[in-house]
Amino acid sequence: MQTAMSEQKLSLKQMCAEFDVTPRTLRYYEYIELLSPEKVGRSRFYGAREKARLKLILRGRRFGFSLEEIRQWLDLYNSHSDNRTQMETLVEMATAQIAELESRKSQLQEAINDLADLKAMTLDQLSK
């Protein structure tokens, strides 16, 4: 679909292929109002704004942010607040998320070490 300004819009199927997501995921993001594609009949079309938003959503998910935290960031981005406020908010969110990820990393390393010890003890028992 082409608009008057020749912005290339992607169909639901094209958007799924480009971002490696399912139609269900896109419809859910639309349902919770993170995305607002243009609707023509039953078809959905995604322009540059929606592509940029999805890119931010997926990046936020990869970093472990909740959808609500991502919504807050997107809302701030869409508000008329200054760029400094947006950056300060991102720094606060990133600081908290880094601490959470470091904690999970530590827990995972402890579990890996415990499992490796159990495996070694079991192999030792098997070799007797």
**Per-residue pLDDT tens digits for 6-58:** 578 999 999 999 999 999 999 999 999 999 999 999 999 999 999 999 999 99
pLDDT digits (tens, 9 = 90+) for 64-104: 999 999 998 888 777 666 778 778 888 998 999 999 999 99
Question: CA Rg, the chain, in Å?
Answer: 22
Specify whether 31 is located in the same domain as 5: yes
Domain boundary among 63, 90, 112: 63
Retrieve residue 120's tokens.
Answer: 């070694």
pLDDT for position 68: 92
Question: Which domain covers residue 47, as residue numbers?
Answer: 1-63
Which DSSP state fits 35?
-
pTM (2 d.p.) = 0.74
Let me know: does 38 contact 44? Beta carbons within 8 Å: yes
